[in-house]
Amino acid sequence: MTDLHAAAKRCLDASDPSEKLRLTHATWAALQAGQLQAESTSPAPTPIGTPGRPERPSLVPQRQVPHRGLGTPEGRAALVHAVAHIEFNAINLAWDAVYRYRGMPVEYYRDWASCAHDEARHFALLSDRLIELGHGYGDFDAHNGLWEMAEKTAHHDTARMALVPRVLEARGLDVTPGMIERLRAVGDERTIAILEIILREEVAHVAAGSRWFRWCCERDGVDPRETFLDLLRDYMGRNLRGPFNRPARLEAGFDDEELDQLTALAVAS
């Protein structure tokens, strides 16, 4: 196989987590070695559907996912599971960005394949931590908000770049420091070390979203700031949540004026 789009689809379709991780790392290695490229003759992408995932966890509405305290191993396992589920979704999101959007620069495909490789490592770290806590991926219910936004934006690369990495995934930059502090209060240094790795590397992933969102806007001759706000209103209504981790978001490609506008929108929501 030499077609990157086909290789991305194979990663996307894999339902067993171990196989998805194996394929992801192998595809990234093949891309680095020059063995894969986005071929113009690749068949058009199929309509977006459910990506490959195991039968568990059960997917429930976000409000039905229980919140547990971190004072017990069970509560800490539930938190680790929630983050692991986000990372598993993020593998699929990155590969869908490679598979679905055609005619993009070589650097675009390299960025998202690299993100998939990172997300797979993150998922593996969290899965191992779950085992240490007496659980495994699938033991707790989870929600499907990330993939639902992928489905809504499948037809529009600009909307996908704006709303998945720069809104939903960027939320991790905002909430992870608080998670780390709560875990520090209960002495869970093992989980903290994993979350610190993820937080550091997720900045680059959100930055990739910022970079390619602006590239799409330049391609289409539209103003990125106005377009971002319009997409937020169109797709998210009054559901924008703050506060925002300003230093991390600045590093990830936001600017001060943009963050002021987001803060105002979140307060209004």
Longest dimension (CA), the chain: 55
Q: What average pLDDT does the segment 210-229 reach? A: 97
Q: What average pLDDT does the segment 246-265 reach? A: 95
State the first-to-last Cα distance of the chain, in angstroms, to the nearest integer. 48
Phi first, then psi, for residue 142 (nearest 5°) are -145, 170
pLDDT of residue 239: 78
Average pLDDT taken over every residue of the chain: 95
- Rounded to whole angstroms, the Cα distance separating 69 from 77 reads 10
pLDDT of residue 268: 64
For the cut 80, the answer to whether the pLDDT of residue 238 exceeds it is: no
Q: What average pLDDT does the segment 237-262 reach? A: 92
For the cut 90, the answer to whether the pLDDT of residue 237 exceeds it is: no
Phi first, then psi, for residue 37 (nearest 5°) are -150, 155
User: Which of 27-41, 62-76, 155-169 is predicted with the least confidence, judged by mean pLDDT?
Assistant: 62-76
Calculate Rg over the CA atoms of the chain: 18
- Rounded to whole angstroms, the Cα distance separating 68 from 77 reads 9
For the cut 60, the answer to whether the pLDDT of residue 269 exceeds it is: no
**Tens-digit pLDDT profile for residues 121-140:** 999 999 999 999 999 999 99
Contact 111, 17 (CB under 8 A): no
Token duo for residue 113: 């394949």
Q: Is the dihedral of CA 50, 214, 208, 1 positive or negative?
A: positive
- Rounded to whole angstroms, the Cα distance separating 83 from 86 reads 5
**Tens-digit pLDDT profile for residues 47-83:** 999 999 999 999 998 887 877 788 888 999 999 999 9
User: Which of 12-26, 99-113, 193-207, 226-240 is predicted with the least confidence, judged by mean pLDDT?
Assistant: 226-240
* Complete DSSP assignment for 7-18: HHHHHHH--SHH
Nearest Cα neighbor of 103 from 253, 215, 225, 221 is 215
Please name the residues in contact with 98: beta carbons below 8 A apart, sequence gap of 6 or more.
4, 5, 8, 38, 109, 112, 113, 116
For the cut 80, the answer to whether the pLDDT of residue 267 exceeds it is: no
pLDDT of residue 62: 81
Q: What average pLDDT does the segment 196-224 reach? A: 98
Beta bridge partners, 59, equal 142
Q: What pTM was estimated for this model as a whole?
A: 0.96
**Tens-digit pLDDT profile for residues 82-125:** 999 999 999 999 999 999 999 999 999 999 999 999 999 999 99
